[in-house]
Chains A and B, each alone.
Chain A
Amino acid sequence: MPGLEDLYREIILDHYRTPRNRGELDPPAVSAEGYNPLCGDEIRVFVIVENGVVSDVRFNGSGCSISQSSTSMMTTAIKGKSVDQVRKVVRRFKHMMTLDDDGDSTPVDESLNLGDLEALQGVVKFPVRIKCATLGWNTLLDALNASSHT
């Protein structure tokens, strides 16, 4: 059995205890809601896209340490980046989570540095938790898609 130290790395617990960019954004921000049907976790991600750049992002909802910290780290990683860059980060992250087969045609940029997010690598050893780690990310994609339609 893999050890818990692979899963609950200090940086992960730090983001869980002190989530970054937690909260809501008023319109014209757009939001999307994501559910983990397995465990009941719910998350809402708010984004403001200005001139093709994610100028602000927030999230709220409730969930386990992995879903909350992953989403918190995600917000710090994408804020201020162009939508194209953000999609590359999402693709790279999901690749790390071994999710290459979900219909996303964006090519994986192996050279992209995920920074603190690399701490979530250990989640792969606990396959049940991959859905926790990716909940916020899939919700972000929904929010970005909603944003491109407004």
Chain B
Amino acid sequence: MTLDVARIRKDFPVLQREIDGKPLVYLDSANTSQKPQVVIDAMTSFMETAYAPINRSAYQLAAEATDLYEGARTKVARFINSTKSNEIIFTKNATEALNLVIMSWGRANLHPGDVVLLTHLEHHANIVPWHMLVAERGIKLRWVPLTADGQLELTNLDSLLNGVKVFAFTAMSNVLGTITPVVQLCAAAHKAGALTIVDACQSVPHLLTDVRAWGADFIAFSSHKMCGPSGVGVLWGRESLLDELPPFLGGGNMISDVRLDGFIPAELPAKFEAGTPPITEVIGLGAAIDYLERIGMHNVRQHELQLSTYVLNTLTQRFGDDITIYGPSNSEQRSATFSFSFRGIHPHDLSQVLDQHNVCIRAGHHCAKPLMRVLGTNATARASFYLYNTEADADALANALDSASDIF
């Protein structure tokens, strides 16, 4: 089944907007996605009718707010096929979710000389916390390199995993669009006795997620890339592992007792949710999940697969050697996120020219400077498509690119 994209576009108020009489061509969803009316309404309605603190007050309004908040947790668990909702930890964003597991697990379990395996595809959120542990704990980092078309070079995976304590990797590159073989990577890591942490920030909005089938130990993702609001991220972890993990942030809500000489942490998931959480935003994420489930993640993927093929064909046929598209050339192996360089024009200048056509793309290092260095560049332009984008958006991108050549 193909998506009724015309109808989907009507669900997103901002896509109705015109600037200088021209429609908006939003191609920055790998950065952050737009929001459907149902998400906006769910948040507004909650604030208008049921806003109250959660987990700490006896009155009915607070009970309703708590039910809505916990209901969203159940939705998230179902969406990623977790059996238990207490395996869902709400954080500020995916970055905080990664920091939580890296710092909390790392400080308890990593010792000088221990090796952590990462990949050249990683976002800074799955690199910098490890660098911080290198400084703090004297651990060592090892890296899975890339093939020429931007996939993980896995020929020597078993030897790379030798002696590794944790393998932390992305399920989908935010720069190259590469989809990594999560099931294979988790199995290989476990065979080598390593824990797995999956940065699923890019994949969860676009692919069906099944943490049980993946065999991962922890995954992190964020609401704002999957039609939900900003301000919420999710850490999923196996219950047995989360139970053993020491708390990360201390404060209200995360304790069962506090005395002058110490504290006893709360049970899951409260143990990792210190302070007042983003209540309204969590409920918005729940509405986003309802929305995506109604459409069907399989349908989202099929739409993006067709669109990816169209984008690749359009840009390569039209511009030939003038455009370099990084990452896998086969749509099946990638998302609809395309980093490219074009006629030697600096990405920042390119995005400025495209903005004149209301074509919104990202230019820069995409929080992946080590990957930029592997690619031999400082910056790329990146157009990223989502369920509300069309072939017409791809054509608008191509037309706008053409006009950039006239200036430089």
Residues of B within 8 A of A4 (CB): 352-353, 356, 407
Residues of A within 8 A of B349 (CB): 8, 64-66
Residues of A within 8 A of B20 (CB): 1
Known: A40-B378, A62-B378. 5 other contacts (CB 8 A): A4-B356, A8-B407, A13-B408, A40-B372, A129-B348
The interface residues of chain B, by DSSP majority, are classed as mixed
Indicate if the CB atoms of A40 and B379 lie closer than 8 Å. Answer: yes
Question: What separation, in Å, do the CA atoms of A60 and B364 have in the docked complex?
Answer: 19
Q: Give per-residue flags for B373-408: 1 if the beta carbon is below 8 A from chain A beta carbons, else 0.
A: 000001100000000000000000000000000011
The number of chain A residues with a CB under 8 A from chain B is: 20
Looking at the complex, which one of A42, A64, A126 makes contact with B346 (CB distance below 8 Å)?
Answer: A64
Indicate if the CB atoms of A39 and B407 lie closer than 8 Å. Answer: no
Question: What separation, in Å, do the CA atoms of A8 and B349 have in the docked complex?
Answer: 9
Does any Cβ of A come within 8 Å of B233's Cβ? no
Would you give 25 A-B contacts (Cβ < 8 Å), ordered by A?
A1-B19, A1-B20, A1-B356, A4-B352, A4-B356, A4-B407, A8-B349, A13-B407, A13-B408, A16-B408, A39-B347, A39-B348, A39-B365, A39-B378, A40-B364, A40-B365, A40-B369, A40-B378, A41-B379, A42-B378, A63-B378, A64-B348, A66-B348, A129-B348, A129-B352
Taking Cβ atoms with an 8 Å cutoff, the residues of A that contact B are 1, 3-4, 7-8, 13, 16, 38-42, 62-66, 126, 129, 132
Residues of A within 8 A of B352 (CB): 4, 7, 126, 129
Does any Cβ of A come within 8 Å of B363's Cβ? yes
A30 to chain B, nearest CB (A): 24
Looking at the complex, which one of A3, A8, A132 makes contact with B348 (CB distance below 8 Å)?
Answer: A132
Closest to B346 in A: A64
Question: What separation, in Å, do the CA atoms of A42 and B20 have in the docked complex?
Answer: 34
Indicate if the CB atoms of B379 and A39 lie closer than 8 Å. Answer: yes
Indicate if the CB atoms of A41 and B407 lie closer than 8 Å. Answer: no
Question: What separation, in Å, do the CA atoms of A39 and B408 have in the docked complex?
Answer: 19
Q: Give per-residue flags for B351-367: 1 if the beta carbon is below 8 A from chain A beta carbons, else 0.
A: 01101100000011100
Residues of B within 8 A of A64 (CB): 346-349
A137 to chain B, nearest CB (A): 17
Please report which residues of chain B, range 332-353, place their CB below 8 angstroms from some CB of chain A when the two chains form the complex: 346-349, 352-353
Residues of A within 8 A of B379 (CB): 39-41
Question: What separation, in Å, do the CA atoms of A40 and B407 have in the docked complex?
Answer: 22
Residues of B within 8 A of A40 (CB): 364-365, 369, 372, 378-379
Indicate if the CB atoms of B353 and A39 lie closer than 8 Å. Answer: no
Residues of A within 8 A of B19 (CB): 1
Indicate if the CB atoms of B408 and A65 lie closer than 8 Å. Answer: yes
Closest to A63 in B: B346
A126 to chain B, nearest CB (A): 7
Closest to A132 in B: B348
Question: What separation, in Å, do the CA atoms of A41 and B347 have in the docked complex?
Answer: 10
Of all A-B residue pairs in the complex, the 5 with the closest CB atoms, nearest first, are A40-B365, A64-B348, A64-B346, A39-B364, A40-B379
Residues of B within 8 A of A7 (CB): 352
Question: What separation, in Å, do the CA atoms of A13 and B356 have in the docked complex?
Answer: 18
Question: What separation, in Å, do the CA atoms of A41 and B365 have in the docked complex?
Answer: 9
Question: What separation, in Å, do the CA atoms of A42 and B379 have in the docked complex?
Answer: 10
Closest to B366 in A: A40
B198 to chain A, nearest CB (A): 26
A60 to chain B, nearest CB (A): 13
Question: What separation, in Å, do the CA atoms of A40 and B369 have in the docked complex?
Answer: 8
Please report which residues of chain B, range 37-54, place their CB below 8 angstroms from some CB of chain A when the two chains form the complex: none
Question: What separation, in Å, do the CA atoms of A62 and B187 have in the docked complex?
Answer: 42
